[in-house]
Amino acid sequence: MPIEFNMPVPEMLRCMKVKLPLVLADVEAQVEVDSTMHMPELAKKVDHIDVWVQDLEADPVFIHEDESSWSISFSKKWPHHCCEKPGRALVKKVIVHGTLHKQIYYVNQNDQVMHVGEDIPFTKMIELDEPEPVIDVDDVVAMFHKSKVDITWDLVRPSRLQQIGIIVVRVKVVEERQIFIAVCPPMEECPKANLLRDPSFEQWIGDIPVVWGAVNVLRVSDNPHSGSFAARLGLNVNVQAAVFQIVRKITQGHSYRLCFWARRGTLLGVTPVCNFIVTASVVYYDAGGNVLANLQHEWNDSSIGSSFTQFCFDAGPPPEDVSYAQVFIAFRPEAGNTACFVVIDDASLVCIR
């Protein structure tokens, strides 16, 4: 199945020069080849004749007209704006020539089956219904479909064979023209890599992870999922916390999935009371910074245990005119939360289709 996709036409199109065969005429003609052959020996009968066409060629015949008559004929074929300097050549006829090759199987006077070959050259002029204009006569060629051949014969005398061959030839007159075409950009492939930079929270400047934005976050090294560090959401367990990052490599037509590893943590020496919500969001923006869509998913404190577990949600295909996205992973304490926070590690935003 061919790949098809719709796309808006940009103001500036990329053009490419290509060479394409343009069919000027597609004609069929019947050629009759009548021949009389003197047999190499006396024959009782002709058993059968194998026949085919060889060396089939065609020569286009051009005419040249003056400027006044050319203008009328040319404007009927092409829009006036297609060519700044109209040519004057037209293809009017095609001369087809080739060779009818025969293998004649006969029975001689000794009742032996013999054969003899014969080559008969033929020529046929085909006139087009209407002359076709061309740009460059050197780029005009002829192409053939498979020819059809039939033959009848009559052994007039033991030494004389009369034959009539009928050849049906179909020829296309083609001009190889160079034209400019608008080239559609290929559909971008779904990138396989993680689109987030430093997804494992290994690089920090103070309590801010590098390439991430952060609010109320602490770098921790106790029991990270992988590497040396992780991010604790909830330096103050009674205040909202979040990490966020801008992602530029977002294209419409694909779907994305946000994942991260998380575990619940509690303050030491405090009776833990957990009541919080963790929210993962992917917000899509246009080039002007306007929000196009905000896709998110929430998990409560009962969903997040004390050991690292991966959490994912599909952020769907972005809207049209998307330019970039922003990823948020947020911790929101609810009433009664006294000692619980969330540690996250190894976040990823990947294209899934």
Strand order, beta sheet including 43-64? 43-64, 89-108, 113-133
Q: What is the mean pLDDT of the chain?
A: 84
pLDDT in tens, 167-226: 999 988 888 888 888 777 666 677 778 999 888 899 999 889 988 999 999 999 877 877
Confidence of residue 84 (pLDDT cuts 50, 70, 90): very low
pLDDT > 50? residue 70: no
Lowest mean pLDDT among 25-39, 119-133, 176-190, 208-222: 176-190
Domain boundaries, the chain: 15-182, 204-351
CA distance 284 to 251: 10
Please give the CATH topology (third level) of the domain spanning 204-351.
Jelly Rolls (2.60.120)
pLDDT in tens, 339-349: 899 999 999 99
CA distance 128 to 132: 8
pLDDT at 77: 39
Kindly report the pTM of this predicted structure.
0.50
pLDDT at 282: 95
Residues contacting residue 92 through CB under 8 Å, at least 6 positions apart: 61, 62, 63, 127, 128, 131
CB 50 within 8 A of CB 91: no
| Mean pLDDT for the stretch of residues 24-52 | 90
